[in-house]
Amino acid sequence: MAGIAFTRDEIKQKIRKLKKLEIRIRFGASGFSQNGLSDRAKLAGLVWNEFFALNDCKREEAKYSLSALAGMEKDELKEVISEFFFYVYYQFYKENGIVSADLFHPGLLAQFGLPYDADRDTIKKRFRELAKKYHPDTGGDSMKFIELMENYKKLVD
């Protein structure tokens, strides 16, 4: 097993830089004000807030705590950062009306148990697996089946 990638302080610095990068990507220079974040950036909310909690006792709803990040190896951290940027660019494209047909909502993909970068064929295959599981004719939950159908429609339409 390889050693830990970075110290907690190094991780904090790198994660804070990611926050600044997200602001620049999504809001440009208008993302910053003299007092920190601009009102526009505050209203829109940051993907960073959903992903990272640098103060472990403050935000349990964040996907990755400082403790979890500190325990990761470099390859795992790279994957977290790739996932973060996928979400950032997805949000940017959505806000600017340029979501492509090959870019799928990462939150819905997670509900399907799929990675953020799943392709259309993978989504279709997983949908069929879940449809068999939840279909009322095979003893499945009808409410989950309806939710599955709605989410699939949102993904592929």
Backbone angles phi, psi at 32, to 5 degrees: -115, 145
Q: Angle at Cα 155 formed by Cα 121 and Cα 116, nearest 5°?
A: 70
pLDDT in tens, 9-26: 888 999 999 998 998 898
Dihedral (CA of 80, 83, 87, 92) sign:
positive
pLDDT of residue 38: 75
pLDDT in tens, 17-60: 999 899 889 888 777 776 777 777 777 788 998 889 887 565 56
Label residue 1 by pLDDT band (50, 70, 90): very low
**Amino acid letter for position 106:** P
Task: Confirm or reject CATH 2.60.120.10 for domain 106-156, answering yes or no.
Answer: no
pTM over 0.75: no
CB atoms within 10 A of CB 44: 16
Domain ranges of the chain: 8-95, 106-156
Q: Angle at Cα 124 formed by Cα 123 and Cα 129, nearest 5°?
A: 95
**What does the pLDDT average to over 128-134?**
92
Strand-pair partners of 36? 33
Dihedral (CA of 42, 98, 113, 21) sign:
negative
Dihedral (CA of 113, 116, 122, 125) sign:
positive
